[in-house]
Amino acid sequence: MSLELSYLRLPPTIEGVGGQGGGEPDDPSRIAQAVFGTPDWRRRQPADRILNLGRNWQILHYLITGDPWDGRLPAADVVCGGRLLTEDGADKLGMDVIYLDPHRVKQAADHLATTPFQTGRFDVATMMEADVQDAGALTQSARDEVFKPAYHAVSDFYAAAAAEGQAIYKVMG
């Protein structure tokens, strides 16, 4: 089964969720429970705060970092990096949630703004050898028709989050 990835950008403090008070950021785990604990969480958020990569997330991560799972920071934070909030709670929410704090969002946004889309990494055979999800179904045209626009959409999403001092929650399920 292929997993899908969506992003949600949110302020580090959310009214009514509770947290540390005094202007400190709320506990990201509490925010995740409050936001993603309802099946219609997508409908409750403004459309411009959600970005869905679908099943293309691992290919995009590979194109950004050259590795299917890891990579150097801040590039690795764009897709796979962050703090897993649902280590013990994925069953409760029905998904994994990864949190990227506003500071790391800014670093990733700056990296994306200064790094062009890596067309040279689009090698289907190499991606299949690295066991990148769904690489076997790729066509050469997907590089420019699917992944280049996805890269720019992610770049714009991170830039907007960084400009507003927001955190990014990544939902995998």
CATH at 77: 3.40.1760.10
pLDDT tens for each residue of 106-121: 999 999 999 999 888 8
pLDDT on residue 22: 47
Residue 22 is part of which domain span? 5-172
Average pLDDT over residues 17-22: 52
Average pLDDT over residues 53-67: 93
In the chain, the number of structural domains is 1
Average pLDDT over residues 129-145: 90
Residues in the chain: 173
Confidence of residue 57 (pLDDT cuts 50, 70, 90): very high
The model carries a pTM of 0.89
Average pLDDT, the chain: 87
pLDDT higher than 80, residue 1: no
d(CA 159, CA 127): 28
Q: Burial letters for 38-70: b for 16+ Cβ neighbours within 10 Å, e otherwise? A: eeebeeeeeeebbbebeebbbbbbbbbbbebee
Average pLDDT over residues 69-92: 85
Average pLDDT over residues 54-83: 94
